Structure 1
Amino acid sequence: AGRVVIRAIEKRSPRAIAPWEWRPLFLTRGLTGPLSDHHLETHPVAGEVILAAEAAAFERGDR
């Protein structure tokens, strides 16, 4: 990730994305947000799983 940041600074890039696998998600973020919101609205169990995972992380101190 450090090399990516250095390269972005050298090229005066507006952003640095690392690891490479995150690039497709970054490029589709305008689409994935509404899709995930819709999924959470129509599948309440998914939201409950996320809340449980966040609560467990908070209890462990992994905030």
Structure 2
Amino acid sequence: MSITVELNSEEIAEMIRLTNQPDSAQAVTQAAREYLRIRRLRELSAMSGQVDYDDNWQRLEALELATRGE
């Protein structure tokens, strides 16, 4: 899929420098992927302390080992 992105020459040069990519297309691709990765990390970080879970990993591990015969 292709899109058109309008950036000035200084922005393109900085993006190429920061991503260490040989051309603007690769630099934009890497920058967009990095942006998405950082957004996902921020969303996960925002969920900190808001997720309920059962602290029963030891019981589950014992059950798993018992079913495997270990």
What TM-score, normalized by structure 2, do the two folds share?
0.30
Larger fraction in helix: 1
